[in-house]
Structure 1
Amino acid sequence: MASEHDYLSETHIIGEDTHQWIVRVDDCPALEQRHISHVGVGDAAVPYRIVRTRLSGSYIHGSLGGEGRMLLDGRWRTMRRNMMSFAPAHGLHAFHAVPESRWQYCWLRYLPSAPRSVVGTIAPIMQHFDPEPMKHAILGLYSEVFHGQGDTASCVMWVDTIERYISRFADPWRRDPRIVAVFDAVMPTLEKHWTIEEMADIAHVSTEHLRRISLKVFGRSPMQQLTQLRMQHAAHLLATTDEPVEEIAVRVGYQSPFAFSKTFKRMKGVSPSHFRHHSRE
């Protein structure tokens, strides 16, 4: 499956039958204050297709109805009503409409300077979550900017509502101090040979209980989440530094460059060198 992504190139096709309501940072200073590039609501049909081979800022996408396809975390998935996703910066990300089906959605794109675009404890997320409130907040902002008075206080209110709702989707792990303690310790030391026993000791729970907690908040086991974070950090280093792949492998816990490259390609869809090449284009 990973090799199927090699043919993808930067693409931005909207099409005459796709309609979008977008507020960009140039339209609304309140977005810039929150490091948001743009927000929008859309109703798409074929040939709508977006491919980002070097996503510079993280991306939130909510499916409101109909059906579309999304490439996230190295694999294609079907997006239907009440599904939301988070794509970290520096990753390969793509989505498109499918024949004989319209697709309704809303989204938020962060600037590269946003805290959510910087390497952190958020790995790719896709799960069931109702994006309807996010849609209404975006349309409220759109109405104020383009059909209202552009009142600054009102715009700030709408942007704050959007951000707070996204926090409910993207940050559930922050409400569990055990998970916070574990990944606050893990993130600065990705090069360490972590075991689940060490993580469980930090959380003061059994290894099995830590697995259950991690699956609930991340949809992954603790070790799978660790691998995600390592690959996310590796992608950041590949995109923003000239460090050799061998050194990056060591910095994220791999003594073998071959093992690192194999894991990176499995999870990102392309090899480290291919990823770096596209990120510098």
Structure 2
Amino acid sequence: MTNNFSEDIWVYPPLFAPSPLQEQLGLHICETAAGNICKETFCGKFRYFEFYSLVHMYEGRGKLYFPDGRTQNVEPGDAVLTPPGMIHWYCAARGHCWMEDTICFRGTIADGFADAGMLEPGIFHLGPHRRLLPLITQGKDPAPDQQIKVHIALIDLLGEIFFARRHQPTGTLRSIKKLLSAVAADVGHWWTVEEMADMCHLNIDYFRRAFKKATGMLPKTYIDRMKINHAAELLGKPQLTIHDVARKLGYQDEFHFSRRFKQIMGYSPQTHRNRLFKRNGF
């Protein structure tokens, strides 16, 4: 893989441009490797690919590293799927080697699969048999019929992987649940999409899709509504002024808070407070 280096993060662009046939198919196998052996351990740097990468470690033991210090073990027969923009590093565990087959791909079909939640990033078990090797070997034949066959075979394999993983906990879902806990614990903070995506180790576009799939809302909408839901509860506390509530939730001023509250709830904070006080006998 070729790469560019910037601020401790290696960026890997596609090695080959798509052929006219691949452009028509909407799927571009942009790089493959069979039987790579790596004995290097973590160097302290990170990287991301500008394509989807499916690597199968059929022998050895490895580690998957994230910028926040988290690590995950990669066991024999495990595969690692990474989408474009996911910052990571995987390599051999100390005292072991990493033996892999790899297929890298991109295109509108791949993006459609990702939009549908079918390309879940992370580690999953693919088994001891070298499932990628036949596709890698077949893909070396430039004949159009063979290229069509290998791209169809890749689609079939991705579909098979998706259905096999459906009943397993997903790394992205766990990351989003962890993020939601952090958001709930700090309701006064204005979380940016970039900050949330970084916490989940996902690129921004993929994060938005995954977040909406998990919560039913886009990230900014979720943060906005979460704050207003907390406000609706706090407004029932007579010891807090509306100004106090606005400051607790991170709003710069009471006017901005009141306007947003009314946009979402349909009435002003004062009207909501009057209703709560009347109901509770204040």
TM-score (norm 1): 0.50
TM-score (norm 2): 0.50
